[in-house]
């Protein structure tokens, strides 16, 4: 069973992302929700997720700051991450890729794109602890 952490300050957005993930995930998952980056880090520290799905614009600790801290952590580094954002800025996308982001998807989330991204992350031939990087 996969553990998926969804970080977004909007409860409605978290619900929508969770429902979309439930539609496209090919295996069972447990979903944990975080209201901002600080909350996400707290929930990740003892038991890292198999996947982080995060928004960029959040209070206290935004998505980019969250990703910076993840890449700097020996325990969390390499956690597959998907950024879901309405920001269509090539420079920001390049910055996020530098933080190890697996994929950047636009809002609203397209189920087909999300499914293809999950196949890339959890696809056949990858065991649960090896994401291919």
Write out pLDDT tens, residues 3-30: 999 999 999 999 999 999 999 987 899 9
> For residue 81, which phi and psi values (nearest 5 degrees)?
-140, 140
Q: Which domains are assigned to the chain?
A: 2-122 (3.40.50.2300)
* β 81-85/103-106 pair status: parallel
pLDDT at position 82 is 96
CA–CA gap between residue 3 and residue 58 (Å, rounded): 22
Please, what is the end-to-end C-alpha distance for the chain in angstroms? 21
pLDDT at position 92 is 86
pLDDT surpasses 80 at 126:
no
> For residue 49, which phi and psi values (nearest 5 degrees)?
-80, 165
pLDDT surpasses 50 at 132:
no
pLDDT at position 124 is 52
Cα 130 versus chain centre, distance: 17
Write out pLDDT tens, residues 28-87: 999 999 999 999 999 998 899 999 999 999 999 999 999 999 999 999 999 999 999 888
Q: Supply the mean pLDDT for the chain.
A: 89
pLDDT surpasses 70 at 94:
yes
pLDDT at position 129 is 38
CA–CA gap between residue 36 and residue 30 (Å, rounded): 19
Q: Given pLDDT bands bounded at 50, 70 and 90, which one contains residue 90?
A: confident
């Amino acid at each position: 069973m996969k553990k998926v952490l969804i970080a977004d300050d909007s409860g409605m957005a978290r619900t929508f992302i969770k429902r979309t993930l439930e539609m496209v995930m090919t295996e069972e998952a447990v979903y944990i929700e975080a209201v901002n980056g600080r909350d996400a880090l707290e929930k990740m520290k003892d038991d890292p997720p198999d996947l982080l799905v995060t928004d960029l614009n959040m209070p206290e600790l935004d998505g980019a700051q969250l990703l910076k801290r993840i890449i700097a952590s020996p325990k969390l580094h390499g956690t597959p991450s998907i950024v879901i954002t309405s920001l269509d800025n090539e420079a920001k996308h390049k910055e996020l890729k530098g933080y190890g982001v697996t994929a950047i998807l636009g809002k609203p989330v397209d189920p087909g794109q999300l499914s293809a991204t999950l196949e890339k992350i959890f696809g056949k031939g990858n065991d649960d602890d090896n994401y291919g990087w």
